Amino acid sequence: MAISPEQALAAAAAGASARVAQAMTPRFNVGDHVMVSNINPPGHTRMPRYIRGKRGVIARDHGVFIFPDTYAAGRGERPQHVYSVRFTSHELWGTHGRANDELFVDVWDDYMERA
């Protein structure tokens, strides 16, 4: 569903959120090792290319949110958990990464599998 720029600004000002009040069992728990799928879907996706095919650890479960890939394409909300996943810089950038650096990326259920 498309909205106007004015509607988007009003929703943001009102504190609108894509969080849904739906009880769902999470697929992953804090501390679980995961691998991000290495896929290249056509159209909209919220999965950064630099994490595709990379391994990380679940650091936090943010709760259940609308899945933007299906919602933006008019295929429904498809609610699912969103997790903060911790990646080492070596995992993401190989020898160019710094030994103690980490990056946290918010990742939807559908983008991951157990590592």
> Tens of pLDDT along 69-88?
988 888 899 999 999 999 99
> Tens of pLDDT along 32-56?
999 999 998 887 788 999 999 999 9
Q: What are the start-end ranges of the H helices in 1-115?
A: 5-13, 68-72, 89-93
- Domain limits, the chain: 18-114
The domain made up of 18-114 is a member of CATH 3.40.50.1010: no
Of the pLDDT bands very low, low, confident and very high (cuts 50, 70, 90), residue 2 is: low
pLDDT(66) > 90:
yes
Q: Which pTM does this prediction carry?
A: 0.86
Structure tokens at 46: 């919220």
Q: Please report, rounded to a whole number, the percentage of residues in the chain having pLDDT higher than 90.
A: 66
